[in-house]
DNA sequence: GCCAACGTTGGC
DNA sequence: GCCAACGTTGGC
């Protein structure tokens, strides 16, 4: 099983929107690296759901429920989507600032490659962040 | 609102 | 194939 992080602007599509919908197509990816990551996702892989913008950070956990297929919103080009469903909101919001302050998380793709909207997360990073979310801050 | 980091485009 | 110009993302 692999872990990923997907970014979204909450004004466009938020964690609450995903919970309301129940499941959703992850569409609109128009970056090759991000697309290639989407294509590596397998059913059952877990995603960190990240809000960018005013209050950047990780909000919740989602799961891949359908592997990649052509993006119906793409007018041209070879783009893909996967389907995801919400699993649970993190017990505690993990802000980008907190990730930046955590020594063990300095190698996260999130910090190395700030603009990539679909990115892999190492399993150590995934479990540490989950642990942090259970702690009081 | 600013600006750095990137990605893309297009001229040569 | 190089590189300047431009557009976009996203943190601050």
Nucleotide nearest to A31 (CA to C1'): B7
Mean pLDDT, residues A97-118: 94
pLDDT > 70? residue A55 = yes
Q: Is A95 within 7 A of strand B by CB distance?
A: no
Whether the per-residue pLDDT at A137 is higher than 80: the answer is no
Q: Is the pLDDT of residue A136 over 80?
A: no
* Beta bridge mates, A7: A50
- Cβ A56 to strand C below 7 Å: yes
The domain segmentation of chain A, as residue ranges, is 3-134
Contact A40, A81 (CB under 8 A): no
Average pLDDT of every residue of chain A: 95
Q: Which one-letter DSSP state was computed for residue A32?
A: H
pLDDT tens digit sequence for A10-40: 999 999 999 999 999 999 999 999 999 999 9
Classify domain A3-134 at the CATH class level: alpha beta
- Asked if residues A30 and A79 have their Cβ atoms less than 8 Å apart, the reply is yes
Question: How many angstroms separate the CA atoms of A63 and A106, rounded?
Answer: 25
Share of chain A above pLDDT 90, in %: 91
**Cβ partners under 8 Å of residue A114, min gap 6:** none
Distance, angstroms, CA A137 to C1' B5? 31
Task: Indicate the SS3 state at residue A79.
Answer: coil
Separation of alpha carbons A10 and A106, rounded Å: 25
Nucleotides of strand B within 7 Å of the protein's CB atoms: 5-8
Average pLDDT over residues A46-75: 95
């Amino acid at each position: 099983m692999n872990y990923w992080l997907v970014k979204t602007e909450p004004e466009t599509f938020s964690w609450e929107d995903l919970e309301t919908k129940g499941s959703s197509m992850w569409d609109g990816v128009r970056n090759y690296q991000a697309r290639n990551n989407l294509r590596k996702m397998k059913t059952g892989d877990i995603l960190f759901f990240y809000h960018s913008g005013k209050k950047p950070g990780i909000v919740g956990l989602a799961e891949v429920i359908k592997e990649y297929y052509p993006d119906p919103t793409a007018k041209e080009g070879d783009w893909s989507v996967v389907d995801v469903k919400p699993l649970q909101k993190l017990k505690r919001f993990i802000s980008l600032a907190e990730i930046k302050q955590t020594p063990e998380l300095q190698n996260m793709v999130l910090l190395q490659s700030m603009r990539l909207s679909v990115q892999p997360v190492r399993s150590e990073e995934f479990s540490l962040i989950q642990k942090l979310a259970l702690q009081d801050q």
